[in-house]
Amino acid sequence: MAEISAKVMIVGGGPGGYVAAIRAGQLGLDVVLVEQGGREGGLGGTCLNVGCIPSKAIIHAADAVHQARLQAEAKSPFGLAVGAPALDFARTIEWKDGIVGRLTSGVAALLKRYKVKIVTGHATMVDGKTCKVETDTGPETVRAEHVVLATGSEAASLPSLPFGGRVVSSTGALSLPAVPGRLVVVGAGYIGLELGTAFAKLGAKVTVVEAAERILPAYDSELTRPVVRRLRALGVEVLTGARASGLSEAGDALRVTPQGGAMREIAADTILVATGRRARTAGLGLDRLDLTMSGAFVAIDERCATSMYNVWAVGDLTGEPMLAHRAMAQGAMVAEIIAGHRRTFDAVAIPAVCFTDPEIVTAGLSPDAARAAGHDVHVGTFPFAANGRALTLDAEDGFVRVTARADNHLVLGIAAVGAGVSELSAAFGLALEMGARLEDIAGTIHAHPTLGEAFHEASLRALGEALHV
């Protein structure tokens, strides 16, 4: 059995793992990255291979198809009319896969540049410093002074709807050979609604089933109302307060029981189960380690240190928020700590984006959460219906909302819903990290005409100084 020794061993090549490896290599550390690969992984992890990146490619293609259909129906607001569009879905998937390939190749090149040794195969921890890897050429043992666990997460199935056949996870949905005629989405969180909306625009008849009383239950209802309106306009049927209880006897329909109602069967060619993700811990030998757990997740402190000496954990393995950019920030920080830097993970806010139609972005506290934390707050909201750029984009449904302390005007939270608002997330996060007050945002000149002006105007409104509403 071959043996490899290194200063740092990273288990998992997703956003947290590969960024930790790159940063450690930049700092001159001897690094081994162990990545299993396979359908759910490879360098870049779930996010790059079967999650964030490919889903956004499909969403973009779906938007283009939908707009072309509207233009063919002479529904363009500015008078454009074209012929009926035809979509070669196989080419769409090929294009999506090409994007993924370019990015994974880029990650591999960066790892090579910084002299990170990559071992591909299934990893099993032997102890807190040793890992056995089953590679294509035989078993290898990796030993290191520091171990960084970055194994990520995986789609959670339902006992009544195990993955297989017409029941797919988001991974399967992103690799369908054709647009399904009838798609049922179980779960109205961000994954289910992002993909459900995209397939509706591609021509599928989509039904969404959600056990909670409303869609996107992690977001406040003010932010989700424009999404509800858009789903209705796209012809998506949404069943809230309803539970999926399994397939019909023939296996071609989903059994759904509304709260207080009779069970019904919804015919489906494909059933996407998008009810959440769970930490990837099974089969990795983590039970052999003396790790303190926080429920199903590995417990960490503000330095991403676990309960074992020189064993670190980053990303989805450590719990919510399960976001790639959080994992990246943690991975870079851990590499710097191992190199001797003094660092802690003390992010004021981690922006979250829901790429529905329209998009939702949040950073920091909502008004209700701020009040629950004991703050008296000022809230300023500015509608895109009063924003010139939004009107020129024919995208006036939505707004920007700013929440600040009433006493000193410190900004506590920023949110927006609207077309393209994901690109405002950096400004929102920066404002919170810099400790901005309403006057700071109000005193910053925002370019005209842009969607970002709504951020400026919302802050002015919270001060009682609104100019354009």
Domain covering 352-462, topology: Enolase-like; domain 1 (3.30.390)
pLDDT reported for residue 42:
85
Asked if residue 96 lies in contact with residue 235, where contact means CB atoms within 8 angstroms, the answer is: no
Beta bridge pairs of residue 221:
none
Cα pseudo-dihedral 86, 226, 412, 427, rounded to 10: 30
**Residue closest to 187 by CA, chosen among 172, 161, 163, 209:** 209
Look up 456 and say whether it is catalytic. Answer: no
Helix pair angle (190-202, 52-72), 10° resolution: 40
CA pair distance 362, 291, nearest whole angstrom: 32
Which distant-in-sequence residues (6+ apart) come within 8 Å of 89 by Cβ? 177, 178, 179, 202
pLDDT reported for residue 443:
97
Per-residue pLDDT 10s for the chain (469 aa) are 689 999 999 999 999 999 999 999 999 999 999 998 765 668 999 999 999 999 999 999 999 999 999 999 988 899 999 999 999 999 999 999 999 999 999 999 999 999 999 999 999 999 999 999 999 999 999 999 999 999 999 999 999 999 999 999 999 999 999 999 999 999 999 999 999 999 999 999 999 999 999 999 999 999 999 999 999 999 999 999 999 999 999 999 999 998 888 899 999 999 999 999 999 999 999 999 999 999 999 999 999 999 999 999 999 999 999 999 999 999 999 999 999 999 999 999 999 999 999 999 999 999 999 999 999 999 999 999 999 999 999 999 999 999 999 999 999 999 999 999 999 999 999 999 999 999 999 999 999 999 999 999 999 999 999 999 9
pLDDT reported for residue 207:
98
**Residue closest to 350 by CA, chosen among 374, 377, 318, 397:** 318
Do the domains 167-275 and 352-462 sit in the same CATH topology, yes or no? no
Candidates 60, 448, 456, 468; catalytic one? 448
pLDDT reported for residue 39:
58
pLDDT reported for residue 38:
67
Q: What is the CA 424 to chain-centroid distance, rounded? A: 16
Name the superfamily (CATH) of residues 167-275: FAD/NAD(P)-binding domain (3.50.50.60)
Give domain limits for the chain: 2-155+279-338, 167-275, 352-462
Read off the pTM. Answer: 0.95
Tokens of 339: 């190199």
Angular region, 196: left φ>0, alpha ψ -120 to 50, beta rest: alpha
**Residue closest to 116 by CA, chosen among 36, 32, 43:** 32
pLDDT reported for residue 261:
84
Q: Which CATH class is domain 2-155+279-338?
A: alpha beta
pLDDT reported for residue 74:
87
pLDDT reported for residue 1:
66
pLDDT reported for residue 260:
81
